[in-house]
């Protein structure tokens, strides 16, 4: 009986969004009378940071600091239509819609500024700090605060915009059934190193090294946090989590979170994250959707590492000590 070490590799690709009905998402952007901007969406922030990313996208498009943008995710009665927050679609679909709405709002803002400065709107640009400048003559400028006041109380203009992103619909080929379910895919590869006690069946994940290709990381620190958390979730799915350990029999299944098995801080492996940026042609500033993919490649990588360590293939999750021991026993009897 011994502690055996193994290494497993797995690579995946993951579609961003879906094909159903063009997978549309809408966004509205408008200025307050004091030059802040509101983004209205029905896309919901589930904790993944959507509000922050949408604020960044809007701010970059209009040309204002991010702290001048507020994102309201409202609901499906009061907000513009969205298919939902799922399928790793939020950044890609809502981000594109926000860009369209912000561009329209920016154009109105520049037109109002042009009237105040007595120039053409095409001669103006923003400095990213809350001001609008005449190109080539930056001493001639006006604050976005003053432009918003003028629009609301002098010019009678609404600094606002509407955006809707819709992917080209792909229909199955009548002969082959082939179709294109997504316009862009994210990719990942994981290498997991484990130790398996062949007497107890216990698995210890030593290291997990992940490489993710996600288009473009719009907020690198948030991306890193999500990918690290996702990697830990993948380990949890691979080795711990189940509500029905003897499916389809419900016996011994956890009935609440006190009984639901998940790894604690002492069970988490040393984790390395590498992000590759290959901007998507149709992504907002090149971004794809890393959301669900981040917890996927660890599962087959751990399964492959267990096989490498003790020579048995476990094809049912989670990979529990009992399943490993049963597989070893079956292998020895053959």
What residues form DSSP beta bridges with 272? Answer: 209
* pLDDT of 324: 96
Which one is catalytic: 118, 213, 292, 322? 292
At 190, give phi and psi (nearest 5°). -130, 140
pLDDT score of 249: 83
The CA distance from 168 to 166, in Å, is 7
Question: How far is the C-alpha of 83 from the C-alpha of 92, rounded, in Å?
Answer: 13
Is 322 part of the annotated catalytic residue set?
no
Q: Is 23-167 the same fold as 3-16+183-333?
A: yes
Question: What is the secondary structure of 89-143 as a DSSP string?
Answer: -IIIIIHHHHHHHHHHHHHHHHHHHHHHHTS-GGGEEE-SSSEEEETTEEEEEEE
Tokens of 22: 């063009």
**Which residues make beta-bridge pairs with 160?**
30
Per-residue pLDDT of the chain (334 residues; tens, 9 = 90+): 799 999 999 999 998 888 777 888 999 999 999 999 999 999 888 888 899 999 999 999 999 999 999 999 877 788 898 888 887 888 999 999 999 999 999 999 999 999 999 999 999 999 999 999 999 998 999 999 999 999 999 999 999 999 999 888 888 889 999 988 888 899 999 999 999 999 999 999 999 999 999 999 999 999 999 999 999 999 999 999 988 888 888 888 888 888 888 888 888 899 999 999 999 999 999 999 888 889 999 999 999 999 999 999 999 999 999 999 999 999 988 7
Q: What's residue 208's pLDDT?
A: 97
**What is the residue whose two structure tokens read 């990381």?**
217
Extract the runs of DSSP E, i.e. beta strands, from 102-202. 124-126, 131-134, 137-143, 160-165, 185-197
pLDDT of amino acid 198: 93
Kindly give, in sequence order, each residue whose CB lies less than 8 Å from that of residue 294, ignoring residues fewer than 6 positions away: 188, 210, 212, 226, 227, 229, 230, 231, 233, 234
Residue spans per domain, the chain:
3-16+183-333, 23-167
Q: φ and ψ at 312, to 5 degrees?
A: -120, 140
Token digits of residue 221: 């620190």
Which pLDDT score is estimated for 142?
97
Architecture of the domain delimited by 3-16+183-333: 2-Layer Sandwich (3.30)
The pLDDT, as a whole number, for residue 300 is 97
Q: What is the CATH number of domain 23-167?
A: 3.30.365.10
Task: State the pLDDT at residue 289.
Answer: 83
């Amino acid at each position: 009986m011994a502690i055996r070490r193994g290494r497993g590799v797995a690579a995946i690709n993951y579609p961003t969004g879906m094909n159903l009905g063009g997978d549309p998402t809408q966004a509205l952007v408008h200025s307050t009378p004091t030059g802040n901007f509101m983004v209205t969406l029905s896309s919901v922030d589930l904790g993944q940071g959507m509000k922050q990313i949408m604020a960044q996208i809007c701010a970059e498009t209009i040309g204002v600091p991010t702290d001048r943008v507020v994102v309201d995710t409202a609901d499906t009665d009061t907000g513009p239509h969205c298919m939902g927050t799922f399928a790793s679609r939020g950044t890609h679909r809502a981000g594109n819609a926000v860009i369209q709405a912000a561009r329209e709002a920016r154009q109105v803002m520049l037109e109002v500024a042009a009237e105040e400065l007595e120039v053409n709107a095409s001669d103006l640009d923003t400095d990213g700090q809350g001001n609008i400048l005449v190109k080539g003559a930056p001493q001639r400028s006006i604050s976005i605060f003053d432009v918003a006041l003028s629009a609301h109380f002098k010019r009678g203009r609404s600094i606002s915009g509407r955006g809707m992103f819709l992917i080209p619909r792909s229909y199955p080929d009548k002969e082959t059934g082939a179709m294109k379910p997504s316009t862009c895919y994210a990719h990942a590869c994981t290498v997991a190193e484990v130790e398996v006690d062949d007497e107890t069946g216990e698995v210890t994940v030593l290291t997990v090294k992940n490489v993710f290709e996600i288009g473009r990381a719009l907020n690198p620190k948030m991306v890193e946090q999500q990918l690290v958390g996702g990697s830990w979730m993948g380990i949890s799915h691979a080795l711990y989590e189940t509500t029905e350990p003897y499916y389809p029999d419900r016996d011994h299944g956890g009935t609440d979170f006190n009984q639901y098995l998940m790894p604690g801080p002492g069970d988490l492996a040393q984790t390395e994250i590498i992000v590759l940026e290959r901007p998507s042609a149709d992504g907002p500033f090149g971004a794809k959707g890393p959301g669900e993919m981040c917890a996927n490649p660890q599962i087959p990588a751990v399964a492959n590492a267990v096989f490498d360590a003790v020579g048995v293939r476990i094809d049912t999750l989670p990979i529990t000590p009992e399943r490993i021991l049963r597989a070893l026993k079956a292998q020895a009897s053959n």
